[in-house]
Amino acid sequence: MVLGYTPFVDALGVHDQWYLLIIPMVVFIGIGYKAVRVPDMGDYFKEVIMFIIQVLGGMAILAAVFTFVITVLIPLLAPMPGV
């Protein structure tokens, strides 16, 4: 029993980059979901890429909005003394 990283057995040590894991998840969801949803398989890759861009773009916009609200808007509306 040697302590060391074994893929698929041990957890990855990417605690600081956890948010990047959305990228492979969205890629696989897009590949699987569009495989059953596109009417014409000729458009498959285009639809998968559009799906990935839409989801990641939406998440990036949400992240930007929430960051603005938490770091700028809330401190303006409800300033806390000493912070």
Partner 1 sequence: MVSGRRGRGLGAMVGVLGLFLLGLLIGGIDAVDSKSGSDRFWFIGQAMVGPIAFGVDYVHQNHFKAYDLSTGQTRTGNPDERRVFDGTRYVWEQLSPAQMDQGMGPPNVPGLGRLNEIAMLSCTLAGMLNVIVFLDALIVTPYRKISKKLGVESDGGSS
79 by Cβ neighbours in 10 Å (0-12 / 13-18 / 19+) ranks as exposed
Stretch that binds partner 1, among 1-9, 57-65, 69-77 (CB under 8 A): 1-9
**Under rule CB under 8 A, residue 2 binds partner 1:** yes
**Under rule CB under 8 A, residue 80 binds partner 1:** no
**Under rule CB under 8 A, residue 25 binds partner 1:** yes
**Under rule CB under 8 A, residue 41 binds partner 1:** yes
Nearer to partner 1, 18 or 81 (CB): 18
Nearest Cα residue to 26 out of 52, 63, 49: 52
Q: What does the angle CA 76 – CA 77 – CA 83 come to, to the nearest 5 degrees?
A: 55
- Whether 51 and 34 have beta carbons less than 8 Å apart is answered as yes
Q: What residues line the site for partner 1 (CB under 8 A)?
A: 1-12, 14-15, 18, 21, 24-25, 27-37, 39-42, 44
